[in-house]
Amino acid sequence: MPSMAVLGIGTMGMTVARRLRAAGVSITAWNRTRLKAAPLTSLDVHVVSQPAEAVARADIIFLLLTDGAAVEEVLFHQGAINGLRPGSLVVDMSSISPRQAKDHAARLNALGVHHLDAPLSGGAAGAEQGTLAIMVGGKPADFARARPLFDLLGRATHVGNHGAGQLAKLANQMIVGITIGAVAEALLLCQRGGADMSRVKEAITGGFADSRILQVHGQRMIDRDFTRHGAVALQLNDLRNALSTSREIGFEAPITQLLEQLFAQTADHGLAELDHSALFVELASRNGMT
């Protein structure tokens, strides 16, 4: 296995690093708040204070950062660029815009450093279980090089050149957000009309309307349990990234635009940090339903 660096030890970064280390991968880790990465030392992960120090001896670098601005800052302004060796491979697993992914790839390639954009879907549970969906953009040879590591985390698919992985992630988030809206509206319609939402969900399970969103998020709506898994604020950011990218490439996305407005109103009404299934609460309020 290649030597690795993992930059960004939040919930996902921690879980990814633990799973890779359990498979015997040698890892150096960095996080802006070093204390958050400290638990990894018990797994014989080397935790360092500077990004350049983390990447200096790594063949492959995984980035699991909050957004495009954070990736830009860590790579090009906090010194990681000074530690990267020619021939090393940066795998950006953060969710950023396709435009940013292309820009980062070009700047790294100019220095002899390879790049993949490889955003994830499946959350920390998927990382822990090795069932993540990994959408990868970049050169096929670089994908093949990282494939053994991807296989430890889930199912990786090469979808095109630089930026294509982020496009696939935007498609994923568009489908998630739009389907949450459809499920919430349909269940509320049934409740208003006098049907039992739980029985309705049971009745349509297995039909064409069935989906993971219906099963997972629909159940959260029925239970009125909006404990954060994927926040309204993050879903809103994803939809805005999708709309921004749509404008850049001359594509009209009216359904996504409508859901962006609904999630924005949900956030404005104090629900930004609840689970994105809390769109149900916004739609219920619009209809005078508690």
Q: List, in order, residues 6 or more apart from 66 with CB less than 8 Å away.
A: 8, 10, 94
Q: List, in order, residues 6 or more apart from 284 with CB less than 8 Å away.
A: 188, 290
In the block, residue with structure tokens 């459809």: 182
Max intra-chain CA distance, the chain: 65
At residue 184, the 3 state secondary structure works out as helix
At residue 120, the 3 state secondary structure works out as strand
Residue 254 identity (one-letter amino acid): P
Residue 81 identity (one-letter amino acid): I
Tokens of 24: 């015997």
What single-letter DSSP state applies at residue 43? G
DSSP-assigned beta bridge partners for residue 227: none
Catalytic residues: 169
What single-letter DSSP state applies at residue 231? B
How far apart, in whole angstroms, are the C-alpha atoms of residue 164 and residue 267?
A: 29
Tokens of 8: 């960004």
How far apart, in whole angstroms, are the C-alpha atoms of residue 19 and residue 192?
A: 46
H-helix or E-strand containing 6?
strand 4-7
What are the Cα distances from residue 212, in Å, to 121, 183, 250? 13, 11, 31
